[in-house]
Structure 1
Amino acid sequence: MSPEAPSSQPQLTVPTPLSRRSLLRAGAATAAGLGLGLTTAGCGFLSSGPTADSDSQESIDVKVDGDLVYFNWADFVDPAVLAGFEGEYGVKVIQSNFDSMEGMVAKLNAGNRYDIIFPTAKWAQRLAAGNRLHRIDHGKLKNAESILGQYAYFADPWYDSDSRHTLPFTMYKTGIGWRKDKIGDDLGGSWDDLWNARAKGRVFVLDDRDEVLGFAALKLGLDVSTTDVDDLGRITETLLSLRPRLRGFSSDSYNNLLNGNAAMTQAWSGDMAAMLSQAKDPSVFGFEIAKEGAPVNSDCYAIPSNARHPGTAMLFIDYMLRPENVKKNIEYLGYPMPVGGSEDTYAALVEPFPECLVSAEDLKDDLYFRNGTTKGEQARDSAWTRVKAG
């Protein structure tokens, strides 16, 4: 869909995009090399401002009001589910994709209009705080209770009070994946394992600021989202000691492990589960959750306040929450969904990697990445820039 003229909506500060989960099934991807001139920019907190659209707080009628303009990670819903929605409601799903949260927000700031987007928790908080999202009336969704009645956490999450603007899509946590045929069957169950001598030169970490600073913080017993300058100094020094052992920064842990580029990599649990469908011998691979703690996160359904077809978006959310569609998407993506009755589907999928399981108990550990002040986010950007520059 062609961008329209930018509106007077409050602007999010957007840094250079970082890769994450893009094109998981597109084959081997080129990892970011250590010798490249890598840069980042500021990631400030959302500025406040007036409500962008006067009707963004009004209840949305759940009805077809046009085709669905859809904005998500690439290949992040089962194509059969999208086709089923088109067939049932007589609409087209007009797809666009982003490769980072920063990229998503840049498109919103440019004036592009989408009916459904999929922000992560902290970005959902930013968008809601900036009056950039429609309210979602749970009472008008037949299947919302399968989340809100089964997962109390999401009835009133920290990032969106009373889930006024969002419903959760997927959940995941971060750990370490490795090839047993390269470095052995067992690791130590700690973030220290990334320094494993047998993996030296074949280690990747995610190309993601919060994930990399976060694991080092947990290793040191610090808050996963710390913005304290002294803490960040310790974190930076810890990560710089890992740099000589790294092959690169890459968020394509899925393909790096499959094709042997990585002997060990920081990885999202869902990517490890998705890899099972491609691995000829899943027993070659291992996945562990560090004893110091694992960051957890969730993606959300959200409807931008300037959506042209919010009624169709509401129908889409309800359609996606049908049990048969939840099952299809879990099996396709490898990511669990906080929908009551879907737990056995995911448990069966990750039987070779039980560490991939994400439960309501994991959510209570308060290891989500949180938004900081502008100054705090700039301090984290500076630490990340130093780590990437080496």
Structure 2
Amino acid sequence: MATPDKIDSLSRASLEPAHIPKAHNITPPSSPTMPRHSHTGATDFLRPGISKIIVPGFATAASLSEISVSGLGPSTQGPLESTAMDDTWPDQNEGVVAAPYLYLHRTPGKGIRTQVIEAINVWMAVPLDRLEIINEFIHMLHTASLLIDDIEDNATLRRGLPVAHNVYGVAQTINSANYFYFKAIQEIQRLGDPDAMEHAVNELLQLHRGQGMDLYWRDSLICPSEDDYLDMIRNKTGGLFRLAIKLMQTQSRKPSTPDWIRLADVFGILFQVRDDYQNLCSQEYTTAKGYCEDLTEGKFSFPVIHSIHCDPTNLDLINVLKQKSSDSDVKQYAVHCMEKTGSFEYTRMFIGQLIMEARGLIDNAGANGGSTEYLHKALDKLSI
């Protein structure tokens, strides 16, 4: 098992861990508080410039057949010309197919990826119309992938609300997610750049490879090594960060920019390891996703992997994962097992090292010109 001194595979051997406060103990709620949707307007959740269509059960919804750039309307010429939907496909039918996607779409996440993309564009100077296409593409992929993840993980809550497949059914939700994968591909075609399409396909393959290994370990009850887990994260979680950077590089107006791929990988690892930690230690996550949901899923998360490898003769934790229990007392015992092996402290230290490496990469880029303020602010959101 890797120790903090051994994390040279991530180029952090010389970094001292940042001070990160210990997590407070959290109490599993008997019934999570479920925030209600706001009904101030059915179009409040729409991204700028997206047209309206009628959705059964909703007043209006987003039709992604015509996505404008920064609210200016679709381009009328060149590679950015909108790939309009077949006129024979009724808007009402589009609303039916899109409904599970839109259900999740209107409850936004933290928006870290968008903030990172816009901050890096200080250096890349991608034209705003093309940057909007890249942002929309990444947003579609991310939202659609969450719909599938929740089904594969048998989740019950997402962002404090019932998961889409418990509202619309598994079959309709799978179809809606797959539909928006292709809508995203249709959107990236507007760039008119074969390199952009190649990057998109390659990173989508990597994403599914990473997800496949994560599911395999869970379903086969195989605890991966820390290095194997980090490789999986690079494919799965780091893929969307990396893809955004590669797409921006194809559209940049500057002949050369800093190499952002390493920073994208660090952001991806940080994003996932922090999520693993918060899932087991954060009251906010308990409200949004349920108490220690990763244990009910049976997931080999970063703290779990560390704990199992620290004491391989103790079979308690791996057997809790095997049960996929929703019992709060059982999950509290699993948390106690990880506390005994120092796994949460180790995870906090690892997160601190990732943050320090990311800040170093950002500052190195800043030395070559360009403001680092917004990238550091995005990184601040990933601190514990």
Q: Bin the TM-score by the shorter chain.
A: under 0.3
Compare the two structures and name the one with the higher strand fraction: 1
- TM-score normalised to the size of structure 1? 0.23
Higher relative contact order (CA 8 A, sep 6+): 1
Q: Name which one, 1 or 2, has greater alpha-carbon Rg.
A: 2
Richer in helix (by share): 2
